[in-house]
Amino acid sequence: MIAAQNAIEKLLSIREKPSLSTSAPLRPHKVSPRLAVPQHIPRPPYVDTGENPWFDGIQVHDGEGVQKMKAAGRLAADVLEHAGSLVKAGVTTDEIDKAVHQMIIDNGAYPSPLTYGNFPKSVCTSVNECVCHGIPDARPLVEGDIINIDVTVYLDGHHGDTSRMFYVGNVDKKAQQLCEVTQFAMESAIAECGPGVPIRHIGKVIHAIADKHKYGVVKEFVGHGVGKVFHSAPHVMHCRNNEPGVMQPGQTFTIEPMLTEGDIAWKMWKDQWTVVTKDGGRTAQFEHTILITKTGHEVLTTWPSKR
């Protein structure tokens, strides 16, 4: 494992330094009406209020809870892989949202983003310079785009949360490098997880890799506890930090670094969700839901192609 990581690091270190994208800046497009969820499907409590609640406690599961988290994680990963199979030039992010929504409800689950804080869609689709929380709309994907698709499902009272990058056709080498380093940073942080490990160690590992490859680390958007509640403690920061707490057996949380080509400064669109870099630099994000075990960790959202 260590030898393989060293080989990846060596390969990445000899690639060209990052530069900003020259593609057309993103702009808002038409957003279609919210999709319906059958009444028999259980809903998280925020659905009727439009709130975006945060639980201050950590989420630690018993044996039954762990099995439910594993089921939610598997479904989220399956949905994400299906969504990625649809990515190609000419497809709109709205079409991806519709496919994600249908697959989730077909499996008796609720799409967690839908109405969370009044978010209008069932999945987040973040293209090029969109850091996170992109709202699916009528914009067609364009050859050379990179896109993060972020899927969360609410199944049997538990949330499973995962995201990854996809390429639209032929993507330039610098965009590929950005995505590969971001995935490597996430996987390197996951490899360090286990009982008694300080939560802040995650950010230390990720930030060191980002620095080595001259990428910025977005600080304000963090990983989080996930389980019966969509978002809870701990704050899993992806930069160097002094957050308290250590990992405990039975605990579940996400690791989801966001790295940028250029400056880490960002702005939010008027929709109060879409976050984009101020300088137009592309960004990449990868995310898994992690379970801390008695001896280490388990990734609950392993993508089907990796199982």
Residue ranges of the binding site for a divalent metal cation: 150, 161, 224, 256, 287
Q: How many CB atoms lie within 10 A of CB 161?
A: 29
What is the C-alpha separation between 110 and 55, in angstroms, rounded? 20
- For residue 40, what is the enclosing H or E element? none
Phi, psi for residue 213 in degrees, rounded to 5 = -105, 10
- Binding-site residues for substrate sit at 133, 231
Which among 50, 138, 52 has a CA at the least distance from the CA of 94? Answer: 138
Q: Strand locations in the chain, DSSP E?
A: 110-111, 124-127, 130-132, 146-155, 158-167, 216-217, 223-225, 232-236, 252-255, 258-260, 266-268, 275-277, 283-285, 288-292, 297-299
Beta partners for 259?
217, 284
Q: Any residues with CB less than 8 A from the CB of 190 and at least 6 apart, and which? A: 255, 288, 290, 297, 299
What is the C-alpha separation between 248 and 184, in angstroms, rounded? 24
- Binding-site residues sit at 133, 150, 161, 224, 231, 256, 287
The three-state secondary structure class of 298 is strand
